[in-house]
Amino acid sequence: MCFRSFAILCMLALALDAELQTITVTGITVCHRRRVADVRIELWERDTMDADDLLLEVRSNATGDFTMTGSQDEYGSIAPYIIIYHECDAKPNCQRVAEYDVPADKIGSTYDMTYISMNIFVKGEKDQCP
């Protein structure tokens, strides 16, 4: 019981010291040099003590452009990343799932990924099939 109370007090102390941090990510989704519309992009924040937090989900527009902004109260620095789900060069009836880390020095500003060439495989990329 004493340990539980101590743990709760520690969590409250960390929460009170947490700071709202914001990240904006922009980019253009392309497959073989052609812009791709309606690509699902998720902005996440990595946590060490509990499950990662989904900050925002968007879809690229008709010209493949996207902009997303997310904020998180966090003790220390946030660790944002994006996940892109797409069909570029995917197996039939499957999606490719690629994860990209957002550089720490971009927190509080905009990370412009420019062109995201989805036909290039990313280390750790996975296939998602029914």
Which string of DSSP letters, residue by residue, matches 26-71?
Answer: EEEEEETTEE-SS-EEEEEE--SSS--EEEEEEE--TTSEEEEEEE
What whole-number distance in Å separates Cα of residue 43 and Cα of residue 102? 10
The pLDDT value given to residue 52: 94
What region does 106 belong to: left with phi over 0, alpha with psi -120 to 50, or beta?
alpha
Q: What is the domain class of 19-128 according to CATH? A: mainly beta
**Cα-Cα-Cα-Cα dihedral sign, residues 116, 117, 119, 123:** negative
Q: Does 4 have pLDDT greater than 80?
A: no
What global pTM score does this model have?
0.84
Q: Are strands 34-35 and 19-31 parallel, antiparallel or unpaired?
A: antiparallel
Residues 14-22 have a mean pLDDT of 74
Residue with tokens 């990595």: 46
Q: What is the pLDDT of residues 52-111, one digit of tens each?
A: 999 999 999 999 999 999 999 877 889 999 999 999 999 999 999 999 999 999 999 999
